[in-house]
Structure 1
Amino acid sequence: MVNQANGALPGTAHGSAPAALSVLDLVAVGEGRTTREALRTSARLARLAESRGFHRYWVAEHHSMPGIASSSPAVILAYLAAQTTRIRLGSGGVMLPNHAPLVIAEQFNTLEAMAPGRVDLGLGRATGTDQLTARALRRTSGPATGDAFPAEVAELIGFLTDGFPDGHPYRRVHAVPGPVQGPSGGQPAVWLLGSSGFSAQLAGRLGLPFAFAHHFAAHNTIPALELYRGSFRPSPLLPEPYAVVGVFTFAAETEEKAREQALTGALTTARFRSGRPALVPTPEEARSHVFSAFEHEILGGWLDHAVYGTPDAVRDQLDALQKRTAADELMLATNAHGLEERLTSLSLIADSYGLPSAGTAPA
């Protein structure tokens, strides 16, 4: 498939991979580490992903979470654009209820001008935080419900394309910069993200690509993808459905080492859902932690749907997930403590799929 939403999929660059492989980065900040170290690690991960033939590299918007430093996707993506030359970069996603659509259009049109032809704008209808923080972000007193999301998406696309029809209230308002002009230019590719059927159905109706958060809503993956494909209407940018499945993935030389790092991400999630967000714990802290009944329930569900282990085991699990979901692309999330371990994990996965070595990646 070749279209503006996805670019030219690398094909042979993925060797025997069953689908395109990409990376979702939460810019994890581990206990004993700094935000500066986390951002530098993200730059190294993006360069590694590009050199090994991964298709795209996304960062996700979160707020009031000490262990996740990706509160400003557009800023981080500008940083990563300066560090890379080919890989697609995007938000996975921008939480649209937190922002005025015009601001997001200006930010991502600016990114498109910096890195023409390789910017994705993934949009979510959640807030990526708790209700109190959402209120501080939005400067309103009411709860963030996401009910206005379809209208906000339509407004954002209007600003991105400078395409409001005559008579529209914003017809004379223009995002600056506007769509990039020239043979390599255009506009950011708009995606919808979700963990339920709402965004899946909306993405289908609008003819947009869809990314599903299997890593925290695995029970709903198949129903949401079926709803997306069943409701899909071809659009000028996307003639047929295109679905990405995000999954926590960690590879190490031994099962034990992989589980250690997976457990740090699981405990981070359990603490957040318990209302106690914190830095990503060390493996030692995660091993010794006494889980409450509520945390233990979260832990079990999280680990049951994560993919971790030796490289061969990880590949087998990813292949099975792709076959089960018919995903066009798998997006690998690695919210773990170890910095070097995350780089090693990505390299081991690339090796297991026969992706190009760092010195032979296609130009």
Structure 2
Amino acid sequence: MPGAATAPADEIRGAPFGTAPVPLSVLDLATVGSGMTATDALRATTALARLAERRGYHRFWVAEHHSMPGVASSSPTVILGHLTAHTERIRLGSGGVMLPNHSPLVVAEQFGTLEALAPGRVDVGLGRAPGTDGATAAALRRGRTDGPDEFPRQVAELSRFLDDDYPDGHPYARVHAVPGPVQGTVPGGVQSPHRPPVWLLGSSGFSAELAAQLGLPFAFANHFSAANTLPALDLYRQTFRPSALLDEPYALIGVSALAADTEAEALRQVRTGALSMVRLRTGRAGLVPTPEEAESHPYTPMEEEMAEGWLANVVHGTPDAVREGLNALAKRTGADELMLTTQAHGPQARLRSYELIADAYQV
């Protein structure tokens, strides 16, 4: 299967982040809190991307979710296009684009466009889940039969479009993703030195093993699948095959984290995310509740168990406590990079959290 041969490894490996043991990055979902609009949420995402760049975070990724009132990131490439105009240095990417929902050629064109807008700082993060429920996935695909089992073929197809290297005789040999390498092969054309690197995302061993086989970097969703983190990372490292992109494995893990000035305030804020998750998992997805709503919610025993299980995977507390928790997680997993995602009702708590974490690491 073709790999990403033109992206140098230094576009994968993260930059130092103060005194942190590994680089730190940001994953944002453009969450919509109670009393907020999607415009408010997307403005907050832009503000967070600018803050992350200013404070030295390495990447800023946005996720793809559908049919969820509390998440405004249904179109990550549109958001990323906006962010290219509001940032200058930070890497931008998808965490991820759910490839079964899209034509690989369209994804190649979209990320080729993003690469042209922000040369040398775009990542193509790919997931194989729909990012939604089955009915919404069916509406997105409009009769196409591609599903998670087709993911390896879709990744191969996307990689070939990004590299413009379909062989002669292939039905797509004369099909080119533009912007892309073909522009450097026509008379007067100039080849771009960059090609957005492909990452595979996952919450189990499937994508871990596929990323290893292809020699691609791997991002694991520790923030909602912590029990599978170590087995998946072990599988990735043990089966990794060097490629033109990477000579050794590079594993990033997503971490739910929130820092506040006091432990009590941190817990107050993260409980809004816990209630959001309870509602989502019980078929009542809505806007992110306020801290007051979360405090007054009459949890059933089942809901309380779900909330506590979710909170157990959130690194939260004072800046020092969060720093210690992140350091311990990096040591336990051997992750090469931590990507922080923060669930809270409004942008102030999220922005403050990333500022405090940067302060804790003396950035």
TM interval, short-chain normalised: over 0.9
2:194 and 2:20 map into 1 onto residues whose CA distance is 30
Deviation at 1:267, TM superposition (A): 1.2
**Does residue 322 of structure 1 match 2:325?**
no
**Does residue 148 of structure 1 match 2:156?**
no
Aligned residues: percent identity?
A: 64
**Does residue 28 of structure 1 match 2:36?**
no
Task: Report what 1:195 is aligned to.
Answer: 203
Q: 2:106 aligns with which of 91, 103, 107?
A: 103
1:7 and 1:240 map into 2 onto residues whose CA distance is 11
Q: 2:348 aligns with which of 340, 351, 355?
A: 340
Deviation at 1:204, TM superposition (A): 0.3
**Counterpart code for 1:300:** E
**Does residue 46 of structure 1 match 2:19?**
no
Task: Report what 1:118 is aligned to.
Answer: 121
Mean CA deviation greater in 147-156 or 132-141: 132-141
Deviation at 1:295, TM superposition (A): 2.5
Deviation at 1:29, TM superposition (A): 0.5
Structure 1 residues 53-108: Cα deviation after superposition (integer angstroms, max 9, x where no partner): 10000000000001110000000001111000000000000000100111100000
Task: Report what 2:286 is aligned to.
Answer: 278
Q: 1:215 aligns with which of 215, 223, 241?
A: 223
Does the CA contact (< 8 Å) of 2:12 and 2:197 recur in 1?
A: no
The structure-2 alpha-carbon separation of the partners of 1:242 and 1:348, relative to structure 1 and needing over 3 Å to count, comes to same
**Does residue 296 of structure 1 match 2:304?**
yes
3-state SS, counterpart of residue 307 of structure 1: strand
Task: Report what 1:10 is aligned to.
Answer: 15
**Counterpart code for 1:91:** S
Does the CA contact (< 8 Å) of 1:229 and 1:241 recur in 2?
A: yes
**Counterpart code for 2:77:** A
**Counterpart code for 1:3:** P
Task: Report what 2:232 is aligned to.
Answer: 224
**Does residue 350 of structure 1 match 2:358?**
yes
Deviation at 1:287, TM superposition (A): 0.8
3-state SS, counterpart of residue 228 of structure 1: helix
Q: For the aligned residues, what is the CA RMSD?
A: 1.6
3-state SS, counterpart of residue 111 of structure 1: helix
- What runs of 5+ residues in structure 2 fail to find an aligned partner? 1-6, 185-189
**Counterpart code for 1:351:** D
3-state SS, counterpart of residue 79 of structure 2: helix
2:302 and 2:151 map into 1 onto residues whose CA distance is 31
2:301 and 2:191 map into 1 onto residues whose CA distance is 57
The structure-2 alpha-carbon separation of the partners of 1:39 and 1:178, relative to structure 1 and needing over 3 Å to count, comes to same
Deviation at 1:184, TM superposition (A): 6.3
Deviation at 1:230, TM superposition (A): 0.8
Aligned length: 351
Does the CA contact (< 8 Å) of 1:247 and 1:332 recur in 2?
A: yes
2:301 and 2:198 map into 1 onto residues whose CA distance is 40
Aligned structure 1 segments of 4 or more residues deviating by more than 6 angstroms: none
**Does residue 250 of structure 1 match 2:258?**
yes
TM-score by structure 1 length? 0.93
Deviation at 1:291, TM superposition (A): 2.1
Does the CA contact (< 8 Å) of 1:5 and 1:120 recur in 2?
A: no
**Counterpart code for 1:169:** P
TM-score by structure 2 length? 0.93
Task: Report what 1:359 is aligned to.
Answer: none
Deviation at 1:293, TM superposition (A): 3.7
3-state SS, counterpart of residue 216 of structure 1: coil
Deviation at 1:296, TM superposition (A): 2.4
Structure 1 residues 228-271: Cα deviation after superposition (integer angstroms, max 9, x where no partner): 01110001011110000101110000011111111111111111
**Counterpart code for 1:190:** V
3-state SS, counterpart of residue 340 of structure 2: strand
Deviation at 1:178, TM superposition (A): 1.3
Deviation at 1:219, TM superposition (A): 0.4
3-state SS, counterpart of residue 307 of structure 2: helix
Deviation at 1:145, TM superposition (A): 4.4
2:99 and 2:282 map into 1 onto residues whose CA distance is 25
2:137 and 2:301 map into 1 onto residues whose CA distance is 28
